[in-house]
Chain A
C-alpha cells in the first residue's frame, strides 16, 4: 500500500514536472529586433552605432558576448594589441561619441609612413602634407572597446549579455519568420535580424552555411611593446619588407612603439622564447641590417633613380632612418597565426556577417579592423534608411545592398593586400627588381600615392 502511494506520488510529481517544463517551453521567448553576436571591437561598435541611430530608436538590440564584462583600468603599461584606425573609423568613433574617451585617455597619431624593401632598399613614403595631416590613429584594442562600451551603457534600447555560449542558431526559411538563438544555458531569444560579429571562426557563418574561401599564411604575427632610444617626436610608422615577412613599428608615444612582425612560424616561436636583449638585437637587425643584394638590382634601381631625378620627381634617396630599439616591455611579447578568409556571401534572409566573420586579411596594411568598421558604417546607414522608408528589418533586398557595397570595397582591398604579401614574400631576383622599380615609380607619382591613401582611408 505504502509502496503504491509512493509510486503514485512519484507519478504525480513527474506529471507536475512535465507540466511545468511544457509551459516553460511553449512560452514565447523574449524578442529583440536585432541580436548582435560577438562583443569584440566590431560587435560593440555596431551595437553602439545602431543604438544611437535615431531612425532605429524604437528598436530593441541585444548584444551577446562569450567573455566577461569589460573592465579596463588605466595603467602605465600599454597593451600589445593595437589597431591603426583610418579616417573612416576615426569619423565613426567621433559620430558615436567614443573618440572623446579615447582622446582623453591616450592614443597616438601617425603623420608619416615609410615602407621599404629590405633586399633592394627601395622605399615609398607618405608624409602628412600628402595625407591630410593624420594618416592613422594608433589605439589599443582594449581601450577602444572600453570607450565604445562607455557610450553603449547609457543606451536604453541596447542590452548586453556577457558570458553566454550559443548552442544553436535557427535561421528563417521565409521572410516572415524570426531567427531563433538558443543558448547553452537553455535560454532562447528570437529576433528579426541576426548580426554575426563573432570573428574569423564565426558560428553565425557556419549556421548560414555560406562558402568561405580561406587559407593560412605560412607566417605568424609577433607583437610586443618596444622602448625606443630617442625621445623625440614619434609620429612615423615604419615598415620593412624582409624576405620572411614584413616588420612594422607603430608609434604609441614618444619613446614607445608597438611591434607587429610577420615571420615564419619557427622563427616566431624562437623569437618569443628569446631573452629581452637578444630579442631587441633581432628587432634592430630586422630594421637595420642590410641584406645581400644582387648588383643587377642595385644598378637598375640606381639608374631608375637617376632617371627620376632628371625629371625632378621624388626618389628613394630621401629615405629616413628608423629609430633604434633599446628594450621590450616585459610580458608584452606574443604570437598569433595569420590567415586569409572571405565569405562569398555576407547575408541571408534575416542574417548578416560583419567584420572578421566575413573577411580576414594579413595585417601588413593595417586594414583588417578598418574593413570591419567600414561594414558597420554601411550597415548602419542601410538599416536606418530601410526603417525610415517603412521596410521591416532584415529584408533580403536591403541586406543584399549592404553585401554588394561592402564586397565592392572589401574584396579588391583584400586581393591587393594578399597580392602585396605574395609579391614581397620572395627573394627571386626578377620579381625583386620589378617590385622595386614599381615602388620607385609609385613613390615618384603623387596622384598614384593619393589614390592608395584614399582607398585605405575609406
Chain B
C-alpha cells in the first residue's frame, strides 16, 4: 500500500488514466497513477490512527524483523545486541519509504539510512517530519527510483528494505535486480507484501478498501500482487537465497499485527545476497 520508485522527468508526467503507459517507460518500474494516489495521502500520513493506521502498527513487527534479521546474519557486532542502537555502523536503504513511517524507527536503531521514493510530496513530507526528532540526523531522503539509485550506489548497503512496495511495482524483475545491486555481498534484503490469493482479493482489497476503509481506495491491484514462491524464484534469479518467510496477520479490531505460519494474505521475506 506504499509508494515507490523511479523518478519520471517532470515533463513526462502522465495524466491519470494513461498510467499504465507511463509505468512502462524506459527504466521505470513506477506506476504513475499510484504515485498520484499516494501524493494525495500526505496530509494524513503521520496520523497514527488515520488512513495509514495499519502501516504504523505494522512497525511493531517489521522493525524487529529487520533488526533481528540483521543480527542473526552476523552483520551486527555482538556488543551492540540488546543496546539502544543495535544497528550501529550499518548502511541501510529503504526503497519506497513514503513519508518515513519505517525509516524513522530504523534510523533510531543507530544505522545510517537512505530513504528513496518516487512520490515527491511524500519525500518532502518525510524530510519535514524528521525535524521533529533531533536524533534523526542519520537519515537521507532522496526523490529517486531504485533503478536510478543503483547506478551510483551499487554494492553500498548492508541491508535493503522494501516494505509494502513491490505490490505497487510494474516490472518486479528490474525492481529486484536494482535492489540487489545496491547490496554488499552477504547483505540482506527484506520485503513485505501481499500474496496473490482469493483471500487477499476479498479481504486485502475488497473489504479493506470498501467496507473497513483501512486502506486507501485503489491502493492495491490484484494483478500486481505476487505469490511467495514466485517472489522467491525472482530473488533466486537475482542471486539471493531466501532465509525466512513469515506470514503476517492483521487484526483490524485491535490494530495489531502478528506473525503466523500461513502466508496466504500477506507475508515477509528475508533473503541474503550470495
Task: Point out residues on A near B: beta carbons under 8 Å.
Answer: 54-59, 175-176, 387-392, 397
Contact = CB atoms under 8 A, between A and B. Distances in A.
25 contacts: A54-B83, A55-B84, A56-B84, A57-B83, A57-B84, A58-B83, A58-B84, A59-B84, A175-B48, A387-B108, A388-B67, A388-B82, A388-B84, A389-B59, A389-B60, A389-B63, A389-B64, A389-B67, A390-B59, A390-B63, A390-B67, A390-B104, A390-B106, A390-B107, A397-B57
A387 B82 CA distance: 10
A405 to B, nearest CB: 13
Given A389-B105, A390-B107, A390-B108, A176 B132 contact: yes
B85 A392 contact: no
A397 B60 CA distance: 10
- Chain A interface, DSSP helix/strand/loop, else mixed: loop
Given A55-B82, A390-B63, A390-B108, 11 more contacts: A54-B82, A54-B83, A56-B84, A58-B85, A59-B84, A176-B132, A389-B63, A389-B67, A390-B67, A391-B108, A397-B48
Contacts of A391: 59, 105, 108
Interface of B: 48, 57, 59-60, 63-64, 67, 82-86, 104-109, 132-133
Contacts of A397: 48, 57
A157 to B, nearest CB: 11
A-B CB proximity, top 6 nearest: A390-B105, A390-B108, A389-B63, A58-B84, A54-B82, A390-B109
Contacts of A55: 82-84
Contacts of A54: 82-83
Nearest to B106: A390
Contacts of A59: 84
Nearest to A54: B82
B67 to A, nearest CB: 7
Find the residue from A56, A388, A390 having the highest chain B CB count within 10 A.
Answer: A390
Contacts of B63: 389-390
Nearest to B103: A390
Contacts of A389: 59-60, 63-64, 67, 105
A100 to B, nearest CB: 23
B133 A392 contact: yes
A388 B86 contact: yes
Contacts of A387: 84, 108
Contacts of A390: 59, 63, 67, 104-109
A321 B57 CA distance: 58
A56 B48 CA distance: 24
A59 B104 CA distance: 18
Nearest to B48: A397
B231 to A, nearest CB: 25
A397 B254 CA distance: 11
Contacts of B107: 390
Nearest to B86: A388
A60 B190 CA distance: 33
A397 B49 CA distance: 10
Contacts of B48: 175, 397
A56 B83 CA distance: 7
A55 B105 CA distance: 14
Contacts of B57: 397
Find the residue from A54, A57, A392 having the highest chain B CB count within 10 A.
Answer: A392
A56 B67 CA distance: 16
Nearest to B61: A389
Find the residue from B63, B64, B83 having the highest chain A CB count within 10 A.
Answer: B83
B227 to A, nearest CB: 29
Nearest to A398: B60
A56 B85 CA distance: 10
A346 to B, nearest CB: 19
A454 B187 CA distance: 47
A388 B105 CA distance: 9
A65 to B, nearest CB: 26
A52 B109 CA distance: 19
B262 to A, nearest CB: 24
Contacts of B109: 388, 390
B37 to A, nearest CB: 27
Find the residue from A54, A59, A388, A392 having the highest chain B CB count within 10 A.
Answer: A388
A201 to B, nearest CB: 34
B103 to A, nearest CB: 10
